[in-house]
Structure 1
Amino acid sequence: MLRKGKLQLLCMILILIPVYNFSLFRAQAEPAQQDNVTPFLQDLFEDRTRLLMDQDKRHIEKHYLPKDKHSNYAYLHEINRAEYIQEWAKQRKIKLLNAESSIRIARAQVLGDTAKVSLVQSLKLSYEYIDSYPGQHDFGIGTRHGITLRKKDKRWYVEREWYSDPFEENPKKIEKTDSFFTPHKDPVTPERVVHKYNRARAVDYANKYAGTTWGAGNRQRYNQKYLDYNSKGGDCTNFASQVIGDAKEGGGLPMKSGWHYLYGRGGSQAWVQTDAFKHFLIRSGYGKIIGQGSFSDIIQSVNKRQQDLDQPQLQPGDLIAYVLKGDVDHFSVVVGFDQSGYPLVNSHTADRYRVPFDLGWDKTTKYLLIHIQD
C-alpha cells in the first residue's frame, strides 16, 4: 500500500472502473464528438468552476438528474467542494479572485444513451489577502476523472463520476486560528550552490513535473522515466522521492538503505510508501523534523524559526508530511511562499502547483515539516 485513506480507494476506482467499462462499449462505440459529448463536458466543467467562485447552485443543476441516486450524489459532491474552498478562504482571510478551467479528454466512447469518459482537468485559482499583503497569487490543481453520462430527452447528464478530489473535506472542520504566518523580509529562493542536496534543482523538478495541473511544465505530464503509481494507491511519495533523488534533474541525494528506484521496474517500499519514506528520511539523516502538529502549531513553528536563524528554516525543497490517525497519508514538496509567508507546495494525487499547504485538509490532519539536510 502506497498511501492510506480515502484517496487510495478513489484512485483505484478512477483507474480501474473506466478501463473495465470502456471494454464493454468498445465494439459499437461512436466517437464522442459526433454526439455532443465534448461540448457538454466543456460546459460542465466551466459551470463547476463558476460554482467554486460564488456557490450559486444554479450553475450546475442542469447537468444532473436529481431523482437518480448516483447523479444526485455527484451533484452534492460538487456543492460540498465549493463550500469547502470558500470556507477555507474565509478562515485564512483570503478572497478568491478568479478561477479558470481546461479539460483534456483521454478517452470518450458512446453507445446509445450512455457515454464513458476519462479526462483530466487543469484548474487555475487566484487569490489575494483581504486586509493586507497586496498582490495576487495563482495556483493550480489537476484531477483525473472517470465519468458516466446518460442521455435523456436528447441531452446529456452526469450519471456517475469518480475522481481524487483535493477539496473533498467537511467545510465545518477547517481549523480556525487567529495567528498567521510572518511574511519573509526577503524573497525565499533556494541558492544555486551545489551541496549534497541540490535544493534549487529539486524545486525546478517539482515545478516541471507537477503533472496535470495549471502551471506545471513538461506539457503537464509526469516524468516518463518513472512509473505512475496513481492506479496503485497514489503517486505522492514516488514524486517526492523523485524530487529529492533524481540524479539528473532533481535534488540528487544518493539512493541508499533500501530507498532506491530500479528504472523499468519501480521503486522500493521506502521510495513509494508514505510511512516507510518518512522513516527512511529521519533514520538516514537526509531529513530532520523541524515542526509538527496542527495548522496552528505549524504557524508557530515556522514563525519562531524565522526569529532564530541558527536553527534550520523551512525552505523550498523541503517536504511536508500529512498525518491522519497516526499514519502518514500524503507528501508534498515546499516550492515557495506567498506574500504572507504561507508555505506553498507541489504534489501528485491530486496534482498541485504552488498551492497553500493545508488546502484540501481539515483540523483532523497533523503535519510534519521535514527539512532536507543540505
Structure 2
Amino acid sequence: MLRIKKLHLLCMILLTIPACSFINFHAQAEPVQKDNVVPFLQELFEDRTRLLMDQDKKHIEDHYLLKDKRSNYEYLHEINRAEYIQEWAKHRKIKFVNAESSIRIARIEVLGDMAKVSLVQSLKLSYEYVNSYPGQHDFGIGTRHGITLRKKDNRWYVEREWYSDPLEENPKKIEKSDLHFIANKAVLEPTKIINKYNRSRAVDYANKYAGITWGAGNGQRYNQKYLDYNSKGGDCTNFSSQVIGDKEEGGGLPMRSGWHYSYGNGGSQAWVQTDAFKNFLIRSGYGRIIGQGSFSNVVQSVNDLQQQPEKPQLLPGDLIAYVLRGDVDHFSVVVGFDQSGYPLINSHTADRFKVPFDLGWDKNTKYLLIHIRD
C-alpha cells in the first residue's frame, strides 16, 4: 500500500508511465530534445536539487508561473520539501553536505505551447553528523514524475506535476527527540548455518532490486519475475515479501497458504497488502514485534535491546511497518546502520536506498520493528 499524497497521482501515472516503464528509461536511446524541453527539465531538476541544500528560493523561481494558481502550488510544494528535509536534519543533528540528481526521460509530447513529460529522477543525498561520528553517509531516493509544461514568452514553465514525494511532510510536525541511537555493532554472518531465513541474501536482494534510486543494482530495475504494483496503489509490500520470500536470491522463507506469489498472476492479499502482510508475519511466527511507537520509542527500544544481547535485535533483513491512524501504511526493509547506529532502509514507492528510516515521516507516524526469525 502506498501513501499517495496527491490523490490524482494514480490516474496521471497510469496515463503517462506504463506499468514497467522504468525498464524503458534504460533501454531506449538518448531522448530527442523536443523544442528545448530536455534542457529545461535538466536545469529544473538541477536547481531543485540545489534548493534542497540551501533553501534559496531563487534557484527555482524562474521555472514557475508564480501568478498562476496551479503553477504556484507546485512551486510551494518544492519549497516545503526543502524546508522539511533541512528541519529533519536539524532535529537529528546532522547536516547535508552534497546532493546530486539525474533524470531519465521516458516520454515527451509537445502540442503547441504545452508539453507533457514522463520521467524518473534518481537523487543522491549525503550527510554528516554535527560534532560527532566522523564520516559521510550517502543514500538514494527515486521518484516517477508526470509533468505538464506551459510555454510563455518563448520559455517553458512547470504548470502541473504529479509524483509520490517521500519528502512531502509538514516541517513543523517532525518529532523532536533528545534521544540518539547507540552505535550498532550488528554484523551479518554469511557463514552462519541457515535454518529458515537467509538474512544476508535478503539484504543483498533489497540492495539489488531497490529500483530507480541511486545506489540500486540490476540497472535500477525491479526484479522482472514479479509484477510491479506501483500503478495499483504501491509496491512496498510486494517488495518486502520478495526480500524475505524469494527462494532463488532472497531470504527464502517458504510461501504459505495466504502468503504466496503466483508467477505471472501476482501475489496473494498477504503478499501485497500492508495490514494483511503484517498480520501474516505475526500469526505465522515468521516475524516478531520487538519495538513499536513513536520515533523516540523506537530509539529507546533499539538501544535497550543492545544492552540485552540474549534478546532478538533489530538486524539487517528485518522489517519496519509505518502506521498512520491505526493502519499500516508502508513497509521497508532494514539493510544496515549508519555510523551512529541509525537504522537504514530500502523500499519501493518511492524507491529508497539506505535511507534513514524516519526520513519522509512525521510525529503522527508510529513504527513497528519486526524481527524476522532466523
- The alignment's TM-score, normalised by the length of structure 2, stands at 0.94
Change (3 A) 1:8 1:260: farther
After TM superposition, give the deviation of residue 11 of structure 1 in Å. Answer: 4.6
Residue aligning to 1:220: 220
Identity fraction in percent: 79
Residue aligning to 1:27: none
Q: Following the alignment from structure 1 to structure 2, what is the Cα–Cα distance between the partners of residues 252 and 11?
A: 34
Q: Would you say the 8 A contact 2:6–2:162 is kept in 1?
A: no
Name the amino acid aligned to 1:234: G
Residue 126 of structure 1 aligns to a residue whose secondary structure is: strand
Q: What is the 5 A alignment of 1:24-39?
A: 33-39=33-39
After TM superposition, give the deviation of residue 7 of structure 1 in Å. Answer: 4.5
User: CA-to-partner distance for each residue in 1:177-224, whole Å, 9 max, x for gaps?
Assistant: 01100012x463353432300000000000000001000001111110
1:239 and 2:239 aligned: yes
Q: Would you say the 8 A contact 2:34–2:108 is kept in 1?
A: no
Q: Would you say the 8 A contact 1:11–1:233 is kept in 2?
A: no
Residue aligning to 1:189: 188
Q: Would you say the 8 A contact 1:108–1:115 is kept in 2?
A: yes
Q: Following the alignment from structure 2 to structure 1, what is the Cα–Cα distance between the partners of residues 242 and 330?
A: 15
After TM superposition, give the deviation of residue 6 of structure 1 in Å. Answer: 3.1
- The alignment's TM-score, normalised by the length of structure 1, stands at 0.94
Name the amino acid aligned to 2:190: E
Q: Would you say the 8 A contact 2:147–2:158 is kept in 1?
A: yes
Residue aligning to 2:298: 298
After TM superposition, give the deviation of residue 111 of structure 1 in Å. Answer: 1.1
Q: Would you say the 8 A contact 1:7–1:233 is kept in 2?
A: no
Of 15, 18, 22 in structure 1, the residue corresponding to residue 16 of structure 2 is 18
RMSD: 1.4
Residue 177 of structure 1 aligns to a residue whose secondary structure is: coil
Q: What is the 5 A alignment of 1:62-141?
A: 62-141=62-141
Residue 6 of structure 1 aligns to a residue whose secondary structure is: coil
Name the amino acid aligned to 1:295: F
Q: Would you say the 8 A contact 1:150–1:159 is kept in 2?
A: yes
Residue 36 of structure 1 aligns to a residue whose secondary structure is: helix
Q: Would you say the 8 A contact 1:188–1:337 is kept in 2?
A: no
User: CA-to-partner distance for each residue in 1:32-83, whole Å, 9 max, x for gaps?
Assistant: 5131111100000000000000000000000000111111000000000000
**Structure 2: runs of 5 or more not aligned:** 19-30
The size of the alignment, in residue pairs, is 361
After TM superposition, give the deviation of residue 19 of structure 1 in Å. Answer: 5.9
Q: Would you say the 8 A contact 1:88–1:174 is kept in 2?
A: yes
Q: What is the 5 A alignment of 1:1-374?
A: 2-3=1-2, 5-7=3-5, 9=7, 11-18=9-16, 33-184=33-184, 186=185, 188-193=187-192, 194-374=194-374
Name the amino acid aligned to 2:337: F
Q: Following the alignment from structure 2 to structure 1, what is the Cα–Cα distance between the partners of residues 295 and 11?
A: 30
Change (3 A) 1:38 1:8: closer
**Structure 1: runs of 5 or more not aligned:** 21-30
Change (3 A) 1:235 1:9: farther
User: CA-to-partner distance for each residue in 1:255-287, whole Å, 9 max, x for gaps?
Assistant: 002100000010000000000000000000000
Name the amino acid aligned to 2:82: A
Name the amino acid aligned to 2:311: Q
Name the amino acid aligned to 2:7: L
Residue 242 of structure 1 aligns to a residue whose secondary structure is: helix
Once structures 1 and 2 are overlaid, which stretch shifts more, 291-300 or 105-114?
105-114
Q: Would you say the 8 A contact 2:115–2:150 is kept in 1?
A: yes
Name the amino acid aligned to 1:196: K
